Amino acid sequence: MFQVKFLEQYCKGCGFCVAFCPRKIIALAAHTNDQGYNPATVTDAARCNGCGICALMCPHVVIEVLEGGAA
């Protein structure tokens, strides 16, 4: 199992991780962060295969993919 962690307070909601996730398990949240952006969030963590494409595509380096238990 993999855990995808977002530094939500720094996410600018660009959507690159959403667009490039091969499993389509990342979406922009309905709420906004302190900067006024809709941050990215994982919608189905159990389906994550830990590929790390989301983290590679993030221009603001706010995503970390960890192997291990749930958040």
Closest among 3, 26, 25 to 13, alpha carbons compared: 26
Q: Which fold has domain 2-67?
A: Alpha-Beta Plaits (3.30.70)
The residues spanned by each domain of the chain are 2-67
CA angle 48, 50, 52 (to 5 degrees): 115
Q: Is the pLDDT reported for residue 70 higher than 60?
A: no
**Which pLDDT belongs to residue 66?**
95
Mind listing the pLDDT tens digit for each residue in 21-56? Answer: 999 999 999 999 999 999 999 999 999 999 999 999
Q: Is the pLDDT reported for residue 69 higher than 80?
A: no
pTM of this prediction? 0.89
**Which pLDDT belongs to residue 2?**
95
